[in-house]
Homo-oligomer: A and B are copies of this chain.
Amino acid sequence: MSANRLIYLPLGGAGEIGMNCYVYGYGAPDKERLIVVDMGVTFPDMDTTPGVDLIFPDVSWLKARRDRIEAIFVTHAHEDHVGAVAHFWEELGAPVYARAFTANIARRKFDERGLSPEIVRTQEPWPATQQVGPFSVGFAPISHSIPESSGMVIDTDLGRVVHTGDFKIDVTPVVGEPFERSIWEEIGKNGVTALVCDSTNVFSEHEGRSEATVGPEIEKLLLDAKGMVVATTFASNVARLKTLAEAGVRAGRTIVLMGRAMQRMVEAAKETGVLTGFPSTEPIEAAGDIPRENLMLIVTGSQGERRAASAQLARGKHFGIELKDGDLFLFSSKTIPGNEKGVIRIMNQLSERGVDVVDDSSGKYHVSGHANRPDLIAMHQLTDPKLVVPMHGEHRHLRTHANLAAQHGRRGVVAPNGTMIDLTTGKPCDYVETGRVYLDGSVQVGALDGVVRDRIRMALNGHVTVTLVLDEDNEPLGEPWVDPMGLAETGRSQQPLDAALEEELAQFVERAKPKVLADDDALEEGLRRTVRNAAQNEIGKKPEVTVVISRLS
């Protein structure tokens, strides 16, 4: 038996969909050399993270082992896989490897943060491999909803790990390499210790559909359209952009791309040669000159984002273009849970303009980029691993995926974030603290620092500043006063809220003992309690309070 071990440790992405970050280690226990696969972000929401810009996995565990990290590999260019790499790079310092398109996107992110784009190295696809410490690592092309997605083939003295990354089985993906069964069979031929596998669509029971099935349906829809057509999808879904644009051209329409993210993606895809034969497009400025029945806009904002092109067009004139009665708006996308209200808002604004909205409810105008249940089973069978480790899923996805493996006679293990698995035994061998870090404005704050919690409390309860000035002898100079924010102006006594609160505070100060008036903590606590109770009584809310005590000296 070897003294070395081969470990897997998810720091993000296992127990949630988003902020993927997976660590592999090989070596003597607690001295393993490490590689990281993906370092992504997840997105904030008002419910739990108001005002936050981005959410990262907490990679403290890696930072504390910086000298053991051999390299960071990025499977593909989706934000939940590549979005955090540049943010953490200075603290981790390892070289970053990706295929050309992903590297192109990653380099822009390094550049934006003032880091050298050369940190990101381009690696050729499998069968090419990169030796980093005890690992030999290859990028095996796999189909997904963005070009050049790859599964990682990770070889060590303790066997091979296949990390699928995000994938679907699509032999006609429109853009990029088709899924090739023979490659994966070949990869699995000499034994696979563990398959670490995408779980996103484990609840989808039917075999996934190819990107190539979408185009003809969209073309039919466009041929019936009388006015302007606008279609939206994920900016990074370059294949869908091509599908849409080609369907538009076949239906006799001139294509205009709208939205910076989309233009950037198409540019990167063309630069790196993954996108060829994209129909010629006209610049936005020319759109106004094209008869609306001959125009097709392909725009950003499929998730209802308020600043994206789709929302702007729904609200009114955008780049001189205004939608109206008889136009058609196509959501060639699914709505990610949590984004429903934003998408519905746009649909209703479009309805008010008389625009017909078509979404994915028919199943014809969008296909997922993830493997459905039968495709997951196919991938298990192709690579024939000793162990299946579900990743890229909430807990329910991981558990259902592990059960699926078991139903087909294969061992599966549920390993949520922080669970270190010995891939040889298939058993947990350690538990690591994991969590989230927020990019809040320009600084990082821990999810448990209380910063965002305080903001949520102000959102729920409002805020009051209470000010009291005292002289050298601790005698109040005048009465305390309040500055409320985010609270009703009038309460049940029908007088202004501030007057009602100040009346109670004045009584408190009048009754306060000299000992309390001399003691900042006791005085602050008394003022806080008084104003909260008074507000509760007046308006039924207990606000957050800032007490300002000025002592003249």
Contact = CB atoms under 8 A, between A and B. Distances in A.
A451 B544 contact: no
Interface in A409-459: 440-443, 445, 449, 451-452, 454-456, 458-459
Contacts of A546: 463, 465, 483, 485, 546
Contact of A550 (B357, B467, B487): B467
Contact of A463 (B203, B485, B488, B548): B485
B351 A344 contact: no
Interface stretch (A25-33, A44-52, A263-271): A44-52
A490 interface: yes
A541 B51 CA distance: 9
B341 A51 contact: no
A440 B538 CA distance: 11
A486 B489 CA distance: 23
A158 interface: no
Contact of A340 (B46, B340, B441, B467): B340
- Decide if the interface of chain A is mainly helix, strand, loop or mixed: mixed
Contacts of A337: 340-341, 344
Interface stretch (A63-71, A130-138, A391-399, A504-512): A391-399
A552 B357 CA distance: 64
Nearest to A204: B361
Contacts of A454: 462, 485-486
Nearest to A452: B486
A332 B536 CA distance: 38
Contacts of A445: 488
A283 to B, nearest CB: 32
Contacts of A459: 46, 50-51, 455-456, 458-459
Given A395-B352, A396-B351, A442-B539, A486 B469 contact: no
**Counting chain B CB atoms within 10 Å of each CB, which of A452, A486, A491 scores highest?**
A486
Interface in A449-497: 449, 451-452, 454-456, 458-463, 465, 467, 469, 477, 483, 485-492
A159 interface: no
Contacts of A398: 351
A471 to B, nearest CB: 9
Contacts of A441: 488, 536, 539-541
A114 interface: no
A540 B442 contact: yes
A15 B344 CA distance: 12
A454 B463 CA distance: 10
A91 B347 CA distance: 36
A510 B489 CA distance: 36
Contacts of A277: none
Contacts of A486: 51, 451-452, 454-455, 458
A348 interface: yes
A539 B441 CA distance: 6
A458 B457 CA distance: 9
A447 to B, nearest CB: 13
Nearest to A483: B546
A46 B87 CA distance: 29
5 contacts: A337-B344, A440-B488, A441-B541, A442-B539, A552-B552
Interface of A: 15, 45-47, 50-51, 203, 337-338, 340-341, 344, 347-348, 350-352, 354, 357, 361, 394-396, 398-400, 440-443, 445, 449, 451-452, 454-456, 458-463, 465, 467, 469, 477, 483, 485-492, 536, 538-541, 544, 546, 548, 550, 552
Given A449-B488, A465-B548, 14 more contacts: A47-B341, A51-B459, A51-B461, A51-B462, A338-B340, A351-B394, A354-B399, A441-B541, A443-B539, A449-B489, A454-B462, A455-B486, A459-B459, A463-B463
